Structure formats: structure tokens, C-alpha cells
Amino acid sequence: MTEQAQTTDARTPKVNLLGLTQAELEDFFARIGEKRFRAAQVLKWIHQQGVADFDAMTNISKDLRGKLSRLAEVRAPEVLQQLDSADGTRKFLIRVSGGNAIETVFIPDGERGTLCVSSQVGCSLDCSFCATGKQGFNRDLTAAEIIGQVWIAAKSFGQLGSAGVRKITNVVMMGMGEPLLNFDNVVAAMNLMLHDNCYGLSKRRVTLSTSGVVPALDRLGEYTDVCLAISLHAPNDELRNQLVPINRKYPIAMLLASARRYIEGLPDNHRKITIEYTLIDGVNDRPHHARELAELLKDVPVKINLIPFNPFSQSDYRRVSDGALRRFQNLLIQAGFTTTVRTTRGDDIDAACGQLAGSVNDRTRRSERYRDARNGAQQRVQPEPVRFVAGR
Ligand code: SF4
């Protein structure tokens, strides 16, 4: 144990234990001269019991509790607002440092409860149909801020104790941000979600969704074996270049090859990639798009999730019609694909897919450019209300 590690110095920032993996927590205990097995005890207190106060950790000696209080803390981000939709969807607006706020959404569906977790403050990728992208980008979330969203949601349901009724059965890294651009922190947080001493979620119930950061996807399998979703949204590069700009750098063929390598490298390699396809009226929802998509994916192990575009206030895209949605789905089913439609949930609290915006202290000035462009357009053209839309 170093002199420094034992020192109680008010000027030394306390270590936030919330985002530490078991291995990191073991190292922390070793550094402060304690037994490594304490890590498992403390992890259970934090993540299974929702305890942030060391004094409440009763299987730890009083001396160690005092030492922990001096050197460490369990600090989750602050909940600014909790909104409950009529359909049971729950949205959290969560303050993170730098004058920012992120959003996290819980979506109940029968026995299943899915938490949609954010990975960044805003997003640098600017997909044309996404509210988050329009907010610009500030920074990556820390591992504590990512797992803190799960911690906050679990506590909001009074889910204490691993034997209790689990409200959160699934997690999707599909909120604000591109998870693979915050690789280390996302991997650390996902490993906490899976860990038996924490949330104990099955790897089949945690999904990382990416718009296609191929070099990071190529590395992912070395660190985790969660499920994979691809935000595709178009059946060809020409259209995808418009909707998902990162496609210009990593086109569809490269992305699908990388996704395939990931899924085939999993120990249980019969899992399928989820393809997310946001249907936008007149843009990518025509029968020829469905046929082209079926042709594109015919040799790839996928299931397809269709997402009707959800309006938001910075896009003039329109939601797909019910008829076009059914036609698109039927064509894919006829081509042999398992094809589901994501029901819009929580739109009375702006929690539907693609509507998450939070409050981003935009470092890219993109939000300003969008605002200026919009104001200019409104001044030049007729003052008809502009419909803004989004979706991931
Ligand atoms: S869809 Fe995902 S990757 Fe694209 S801008 Fe939105 S958050 Fe970023």
C-alpha cells in the first residue's frame, strides 16, 4: 500500500466506484491495502442493492467503511426529471457535467422491460432522421454515467436485491450517441450489466446498436459477446450516404462483413444480427426498397426490425403510412425474413425511438447551424409549421 493511497487528503478527488468493473475495483482495494475480495462485496452493494452509502454496507468492517468514505464515493448522475407515459414508458432526463443532460428510456412490454441507454452527450454522426444528431456533440459519457443510467432506472422501480422482481430485463445501447465511438466506457458498462455480482443480465439481453464504425466493430468481439444491431435504414450506399453519413467512410458491404465476423465469432454463433430500418415516407419505404433490402441481406443471418419514423422538431421527414409499412413488412416476410415492427411507445413524453435529445452543450456548433438554417428558411418561405422528425 502506498503512503499516498492511505492518505486522507481533502484535495484528492474521491474515486467514484460506480463505473469500476470488478477487476478495477479489486485493483482499487489492493492499492488502498485491502483484500481484493472486498470488490465483490462492494459491487453487490452498489449494483444489486442500489446502495451508495458505505455506512449501509453492513458486511464490511466499520474501519473499512470509514476508509472508503474518505477515499471513495458512489456517485450516480443526478435525475433532473422523470416522466411517465400513459403506456408505461418512463423517461429520465439526467444531468451530467458540463451543463449537459442526457435521456434514458424504459419501455415495458409484457414480461420484458427494455432500458434504452445513452453512450454520449449528443452525437457526432448527424444521421439525417435523428433528433440526437441535430443537437450536436459535447463528449463521451464515462462508464459511471453509462451504468449510472441502469442504476437510476433500477432504483426508480425499487428493484433492490437480486432475488427481487426484475423490471429491467433487457438493455439496448441505442439512446443518445454512437456507442462504438465511446468504446472503452461502453464495454466497461456493458460488462457490469452482464456481471453476476451486478445486474446479471444475459448476453442475449444486452444489445449494442451501431451505425457502422467498422474498425471498432472489428475489435468488439475481443471484449464482449453481447447482441449486435445495425442501424441500416437503406438498402444501397447511395441512399444510405444521405441518411447515415458515416456510410461514406464505411459502406454497407464493409459494415455487413464486419457485423458478420462479429456474430460468427461468438461462442454461440447461431445468433442473428438485428437490422434496424427506420421507414420514412417517400424516402426508403417503397416496395423496390424492400426488394433491394431482401436481396442485400439474403445471405446474412439477420432479423429485421422496422421502425416507423417518429416526428421531432428539426426535420421535415414524414412518418411512413400504415399501408406502406405493412406492404414493406410483407415483402420481407415473403422473402423469408423474420420482420417485426417496433411499436411507437412513449411519444406523449417524446421518448419514442429517435426523439431523444436531452440538452447538449454543443461543441460542434451543428445545432446552431441547423437553427440558423431553419430560421432562414422560415423567413424566406411561407410560415407554415415545419414538421421535424427523427428515428434511429
Ligand atoms: S442515429 Fe445514432 S449514430 Fe446516427 S446521429 Fe442518431 S445517435 Fe448518432
78-390: CATH topology is TIM Barrel (3.20.20)
pTM of the model: 0.89
* 193 contact partners, CB below 8 Å, separation of at least 6: 147, 150, 171, 199, 201, 206
Q: Which atom in ligand 1 lies closest to the alpha carbon of residue 210?
A: 3
- Residue 353 falls in the annotated catalytic set: yes
User: In the chain, how many H helices and how many E strands?
Assistant: 13, 16
Segment 150-190, tens digit of pLDDT: 999 999 988 655 544 578 999 999 999 999 999 999 999 99
* 222 contact partners, CB below 8 Å, separation of at least 6: none
Active-site pick, 34, 103, 145, 276:
103
Segment 315-370, tens digit of pLDDT: 889 999 999 999 999 999 999 999 999 887 776 666 666 666 667 777 776 677 77
- What is the radius of gyration, based on Cα positions, of the chain? 22
Please tell me whether residue 195 adopts helix, strand or coil conformation: coil
Please tell me the distance from the alpha carbon of residue 385 to that of residue 135, in angstroms, as a whole number. 20
Residue scoring higher pLDDT (378 or 270): 270
Q: Is the pLDDT score of 384 beyond 50? A: no
* 243 contact partners, CB below 8 Å, separation of at least 6: 127, 128, 129, 233, 234, 280, 283, 284
3-73: CATH topology is DNA polymerase; domain 1 (1.10.150)
**What integer is the mean pLDDT of 86-110?**
92
Please tell me the distance from the alpha carbon of residue 242 to that of residue 346, in angstroms, as a whole number. 28
Q: Is the pLDDT score of 28 beyond 90? A: yes
Segment 198-227, tens digit of pLDDT: 999 999 999 999 999 999 999 999 999 999
- Average model confidence (pLDDT) for the chain? 88
Q: Which of 105, 126, 127, 174 to mutate to test the pocket of ligand 1 (most atoms within 8 A of CB)?
A: 127
The set of protein residues with a Cβ atom below 6 angstroms from ligand 1 is: 123, 125-127, 130, 132-133, 176-178, 211, 231, 392
Segments making up each domain of the chain, as ranges: 3-73, 78-390
Measured CA distances, 15 to 35, 64, 70, 141 (Å): 17, 15, 10, 16
